[in-house]
Amino acid sequence: MFPRTLIALAFALASAGAAAQSMTWSTGLEYSSGDYGGTEDIEDLYVPVTGRLNLDRVSLELTVPYLSVRAPAGTTVTDPGGEPIPGTGETVTESGIGDVIAGMTIYDVVYLDNLDFALDLAGKVKFGTADEDKGLGTGENDYTLRTDLYKFAGRFTLVGSVGYKFRGEPAGADLDDVWLGSIGGIYAPRDRFRFGMFYDYRESALTDSDALSEVSAFAVRQLTDRFTVQFYAFTGFSDSSPDWGAGILLQII
């Protein structure tokens, strides 16, 4: 489930024309499906509403999502980024408010104009607000620290991300802290339009489970000075990743 690291970064880059001190809002819809090593498919519908306060070199962000999960009874969503723990009961649908996410990004911590290189630092807290009795979350807080790196080459931008996630310890599950990383490229053939492809990797928080491994592609179109829309799709290569998924995002400046 959204947000994937570099998909979100691409969306932010496409709206870089926003005022240095401004407020932006975004919402969207993502659907994903996979069996995650279980016997039945788990289908997720994720609808985030995000407010972002943009300051001179810092942004503060808060996401409140709605989540609907169709899965075998006993399934637990461990993170809004994949790797649910499959249940074994009959297929049921549970829905409600998901885990609220707060984040902060510090831009241009390192900026080398002569090398066309920049480095940002980001932090994120996933609050355990989703209903754990419904399996929509673990009920625990998670914390992520991340470094984002950019290499600019004309209309092409190479983007990489490395981070570490500190996991809460829910009752009945042993979740490990994990490393995560992404790499991808963004190309802008003309003003107000960008597209690209990314690869995401994350260690599994579950002992003896596959790491998350998936590739995603996206296209972003800035419709007006205030409205930007993004379409994306992704597919996974391990039991911890979704088989496939797609989404749409709309940002308002």
- Answer CATH for 5-252 from 3.30.420.10, 3.40.50.1010, 3.30.390.50, 2.40.128.130: 2.40.128.130
With tokens 């609907």, the residue in question is 68
| pLDDT at 170 (0 to 100) | 86
As beta bridge partners, residue 149 has: 119, 160
| pLDDT at 83 (0 to 100) | 81
The amino acid at 111: Y
Distance CA 191, CA 147 (A): 27
3-class state of residue 11 by DSSP: helix
For the beta carbon of residue 204, count every other beta carbon within 10 angstroms. 19
Per the structure block, which two tokens stand in for 190? Answer: 């003309």
**Rounded alpha-carbon distances, angstroms, from residue 99 to 62, 132, 177:** 11, 10, 18
Half-sphere exposure of 29 (CA within 13 A, CB side): 2
Which of 110, 104, 140 minimizes the C-alpha distance to 123? 104
Question: What stretch of H or E contains 49?
Answer: strand 42-54
Which residue ranges of the chain lie beneath pLDDT 70?
Answer: 1-20, 81
Distance CA 165, CA 161 (A): 13
State residue 12 phi and psi, 5-degree precision: -65, -40
Contact of 71 with 92, CB cutoff 8 Å: yes
| pLDDT at 1 (0 to 100) | 47
Q: What pLDDT, in 10s, does the model give residues 120-133?
A: 999 999 999 999 99
Q: What pLDDT, in 10s, does the model give residues 76-96?
A: 998 876 789 899 989 999 999
| pLDDT at 201 (0 to 100) | 95
Per the structure block, which two tokens stand in for 241? Answer: 């990743």
| pLDDT at 2 (0 to 100) | 45
